[in-house]
């Protein structure tokens, strides 16, 4: 028998996120990476959008496609990661920042195609350390996915 009251859907909507996921979603909303409610229906004019992105251990695979070319792009790395633990790679025109263990990564789609020297990017760590400029650019390597044998 079908449940016409929508109880099953209501129960699914009420399932809470894990505390870490809830905090991550709150940070994404705070930093302007996504919007909810009426704001989400408005057209972006570029002035209200933020180029600050939060990322870190436990984020999984994140893709940022709507970064802005003006000013700076700041990737704020959560506590628990140091500069030596990150690998920066170029895949086509995208910049991929990932943990050395490969569990978490953030991809800035098309970033290196428009800004090949990565001059607008700054990676800021929880302890105040920062990767930017020539130091950051020198760490970008080419990363090739393994090709499986035919």
Question: Within a 10 A sphere around the Cβ of 147, how many other Cβ atoms?
Answer: 6
Q: How far is CA 124 from CA 30, 37, 128, 150, in A?
A: 17, 30, 6, 42
pLDDT at 126: 92
What is the average pLDDT score of the chain?
Answer: 76
CA angle (17, 37, 105) in 5-degree steps: 50
Global pTM reads 0.63
Residue 95: band (very low, low, confident or very high) from pLDDT cuts 50, 70, 90? very high
Tens digits of per-residue pLDDT, 109-145? 988 888 888 899 999 999 999 999 999 999 999 765 5
E strands, the chain, in order: 52-55, 61-64, 73-77, 86-91, 94-99, 105-108, 121-125, 130-132, 140-142
Q: Which of 14-28, 37-51, 59-73, 84-98 has the lowest mean pLDDT?
A: 37-51
Taking residues 86-102, report their average pLDDT: 93
């Amino acid at each position: 028998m079908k449940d016409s009251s929508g109880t099953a859907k209501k129960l699914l909507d009420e399932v809470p996120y894990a505390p870490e996921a809830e905090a991550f979603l709150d940070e994404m909303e705070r930093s302007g990476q996504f919007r909810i409610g009426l704001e989400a229906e408005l057209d972006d004019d570029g002035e209200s959008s933020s180029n600050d992105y939060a990322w870190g251990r436990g984020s999984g695979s994140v893709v940022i496609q709507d970064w802005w070319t003006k000013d700076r792009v700041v990737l704020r790395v959560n506590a628990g990661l140091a500069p030596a633990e990150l690998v920066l790679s170029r895949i086509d025109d995208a910049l991929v920042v990932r943990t050395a263990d490969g569990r978490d990564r953030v991809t800035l789609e098309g970033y290196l195609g428009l800004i090949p020297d990565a001059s607008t990017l700054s990676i800021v760590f929880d302890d105040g350390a920062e990767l930017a400029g020539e130091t950051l650019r020198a760490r970008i390597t080419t990363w090739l996915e393994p090709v499986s044998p035919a």
